[in-house]
């Protein structure tokens, strides 16, 4: 009996354990089923709109007068007259008298030279008459031929030379008298004056300096790799000039008239020269562009009919990521016409309506499915989306 109990006890315990496990298992709540997650990457895009684009080139410079002249005394004497406009900053007309050197001695020298000319002319006429008399005398003599001396031809040549010397002396005296008047060589702005009323000046002494106000010039440095965006390397192109005047931005128009034809050894830049007519607005009413003013310049460049400006950081190995019509990732090869600051100008590879991906992708694979961020409409990328669309820094490639 005891033996049977020992055998049955483990079996009973095992049966009870299995029964308890079955009961507990039936009481367990099954796990909730989770919905399948959507793992399609969500991206932000910008639509492409192609349009015409001007490949303008920007530069800078300082306006200077086209002509600047030092006024030098060509005769000596005392300053007896000064114009009221002959002061720094004064405007003078072409031919206007600025200063006068005492002309008394030069007037006397002119009178003396004219008297010598009259005397030499009289002596020449007398010698001509004597020569005719000598010729008639020799015509009566038929046995011998007259000599040059007997016909008084050497004397005549001498008197003619004296007349020419006297005429030259008159011209010299008249020119020296004219040089006592210091006049403006052109419509000018007085840059400086170095003499005062009553001062005595000698030949070669500086009296002042004037600057032409008819035309101003600006030297514009341009990188060599930017010249290809300009027609005829810029010569003849229009230029828009901008500068701050009394806290307000002002604009002027100019035209490139020439290239200096050399590359600067230090900056490695080519220089284009732009001319501005009437910079001080004396002929027509406009804001003066004073000499020495620093200006920013935009040179009209070549025109591109179909192009777009794309942010530079979206381009990798001359490719951009596109969300195609099937909402799939596509890498599109593009042609970069020009880099300008933080953007690039693209003229091949993009079409109207293309959606460029602007957000980062963790594991991008060509052909992978994509979804738009919150199904928002795509923003537009076009030629006007970047303020620098028609400008380029001097050092860009």
- Side-chain half-sphere exposure of 320, counting CA atoms within 13 A: 32
| 244 part of a folded domain | yes
The predicted pLDDT at position 258 comes to: 92
| 349 part of a folded domain | yes
Confirm if 181 and 250 have CB atoms less than 8 A apart: no
| 1 part of a folded domain | no
337-357 b/e (C-beta count within 10 Å ≥ 16 → b) = bbebeebbbbbebbeeebbbb
Angle at 208 between CA 206 and CA 214, to 5 degrees: 135
> In this structure, are 313 and 256 located in the same domain?
no
> In this structure, are 77 and 205 located in the same domain?
yes
292: confidence class by pLDDT, cuts 50, 70, 90? very high
d(CA 221, CA 260): 10
> In this structure, are 186 and 90 located in the same domain?
yes
> In this structure, are 260 and 349 located in the same domain?
no
- Side-chain half-sphere exposure of 12, counting CA atoms within 13 A: 6
154: confidence class by pLDDT, cuts 50, 70, 90? confident
Task: Please determine, for residue 68, whether its predicted confidence score (pLDDT) is greater than 50.
Answer: yes
What does the DSSP 8-state code read for residue 220? Answer: E
369-386 pLDDT per residue, tens: 888 876 544 455 655 444
Among the listed residues 221, 391, 223, 173, the one whose alpha carbon sits nearest the alpha carbon of residue 300: 391
293: confidence class by pLDDT, cuts 50, 70, 90? very high
78: confidence class by pLDDT, cuts 50, 70, 90? very high
| 21 part of a folded domain | no
The predicted pLDDT at position 52 comes to: 87
Q: In what order do the strands lie in the sheet with 181-183?
A: 181-183, 97-101, 77-82, 200-201
Number of neighbouring beta carbons within 10 Å of residue 24:
9
Q: From the DSSP assignment, how many helices (H) and strands (E) are in the chain?
A: 3, 25
CATH of the domain at 229: 2.40.30.170
Task: Tell me which H or E stretch contains 53.
Answer: strand 51-54
41: confidence class by pLDDT, cuts 50, 70, 90? confident
What does the DSSP 8-state code read for residue 374? Answer: G
Mean pLDDT in residue range 153-176: 86
Confirm if 213 and 91 have CB atoms less than 8 A apart: yes
The predicted pLDDT at position 25 comes to: 66
Pairing label, strands 45-49, 379-382: parallel
387: confidence class by pLDDT, cuts 50, 70, 90? very low
Sign of the Cα torsion 362, 366, 368, 373 reads positive
Task: Please determine, for residue 215, whether its predicted confidence score (pLDDT) is greater than 80.
Answer: yes
> In this structure, are 365 and 317 located in the same domain?
yes
The separation between CA 4 and the C-alpha centre of its own chain, rounded to angstroms, equals 117
d(CA 102, CA 381): 75
| 50 part of a folded domain | yes
Task: Tell me which H or E stretch contains 219.
Answer: strand 215-223
The number of domains in the chain is: 4
The predicted pLDDT at position 140 comes to: 67
Q: List the single range of 44-48, 84-88, 290-294 with lowest mean pLDDT.
A: 44-48
Among the listed residues 82, 77, 103, the one whose alpha carbon sits nearest the alpha carbon of residue 173: 103
d(CA 77, CA 199): 8
CATH of the domain at 204: 2.40.50.100
100-122 pLDDT per residue, tens: 999 999 999 999 999 998 888 88
The predicted pLDDT at position 109 comes to: 93
| 388 part of a folded domain | no
d(CA 164, CA 169): 9
Angle at 248 between CA 245 and CA 249, to 5 degrees: 85
d(CA 333, CA 306): 16
d(CA 176, CA 370): 91
Domain that holds residue 186: 67-101+181-211
> In this structure, are 342 and 316 located in the same domain?
yes
Q: Would you state the structure tokens that stand for residue 328, as one six-digit string?
A: 């799939």
130-146 pLDDT per residue, tens: 767 666 666 666 566 66
313-370 pLDDT per residue, tens: 888 888 888 988 888 888 989 888 888 888 888 888 888 888 888 888 888 888 888 8
> In this structure, are 322 and 270 located in the same domain?
no
> In this structure, are 72 and 199 located in the same domain?
yes
> In this structure, are 279 and 219 located in the same domain?
yes
The predicted pLDDT at position 233 comes to: 85
> In this structure, are 86 and 205 located in the same domain?
yes
266-289 pLDDT per residue, tens: 888 999 999 999 999 888 888 899
CATH of the domain at 350: 2.40.420.20
7: confidence class by pLDDT, cuts 50, 70, 90? low
Among the listed residues 150, 75, 56, the one whose alpha carbon sits nearest the alpha carbon of residue 390: 56
13-39 pLDDT per residue, tens: 776 766 666 666 666 666 666 565 557
The predicted pLDDT at position 353 comes to: 84
Confirm if 57 and 226 have CB atoms less than 8 A apart: yes
Strand partners, 86: none
Mean pLDDT for all residues in the chain:
83
For the entire predicted model, the pTM comes to 0.70
Q: Using DSSP, state whether 242 is helix, strand or coil.
A: strand
216-247 pLDDT per residue, tens: 999 999 998 888 889 888 899 999 999 988 77
> In this structure, are 88 and 118 located in the same domain?
no
């Amino acid at each position: 009996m005891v033996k049977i109990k020992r055998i049955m006890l483990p079996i009973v315990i095992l049966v009870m354990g299995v029964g308890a496990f079955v009961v507990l298992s039936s009481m367990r709540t099954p796990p909730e089923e989770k919905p399948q997650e959507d793992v399609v990457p969500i991206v932000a895009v910008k639509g492409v709109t192609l349009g015409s684009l001007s490949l303008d080139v920007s530069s800078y410079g300082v306006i200077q007068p086209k002509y600047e002249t030092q006024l030098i005394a060509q005769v000596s004497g005392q300053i007896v007259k000064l114009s009221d406009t002959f002061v720094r900053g004064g405007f003078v007309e072409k031919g206007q008298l600025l200063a006068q050197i005492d002309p008394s001695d030069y007037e006397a020298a002119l009178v003396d030279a004219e008297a010598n000319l009259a005397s030499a002319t009289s002596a020449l006429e007398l010698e001509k008459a004597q020569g005719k008399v000598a010729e008639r005398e020799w015509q009566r003599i038929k046995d011998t031929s007259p000599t040059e001396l007997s016909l008084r031809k050497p004397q005549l040549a001498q008197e003619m030379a004296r007349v020419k010397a006297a005429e030259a002396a008159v011209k010299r005296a008249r020119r020296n008298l004219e040089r006592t008047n210091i006049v403006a060589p052109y419509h000018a702005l007085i840059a400086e004056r170095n003499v005062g009323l009553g001062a005595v000046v000698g030949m070669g002494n500086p009296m002042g300096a004037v600057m032409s106000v008819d035309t101003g010039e600006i030297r514009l440095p341009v990188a060599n790799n930017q010249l290809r965006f300009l027609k005829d390397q810029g010569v003849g192109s229009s230029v828009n000039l901008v500068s701050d005047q009394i806290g307000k931005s002002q604009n002027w128009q100019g035209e490139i008239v020439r290239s200096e034809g050399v590359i600067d050894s230090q900056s490695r830049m080519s220089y284009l020269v732009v001319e501005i007519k009437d910079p001080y607005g004396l002929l027509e009413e406009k804001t003066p562009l004073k000499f020495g003013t620093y200006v920013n310049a935009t040179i009209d460049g070549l025109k591109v009919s179909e192009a777009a400006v794309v942010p530079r950081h979206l381009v990798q190995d001359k490719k951009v990521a596109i969300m195609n019509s099937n909402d799939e990732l596509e890498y599109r090869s593009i042609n970069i016409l020009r880099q300008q600051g933080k953007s690039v100008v693209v003229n091949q590879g993009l079409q109207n309506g293309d959606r460029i991906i602007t957000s980062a992708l963790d594991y991008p694979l060509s052909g992978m499915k994509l979804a738009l961020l919150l199904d928002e409409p795509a923003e537009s990328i076009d030629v006007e989306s970047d303020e620098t669309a028609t400008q380029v820094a001097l050092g860009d490639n």
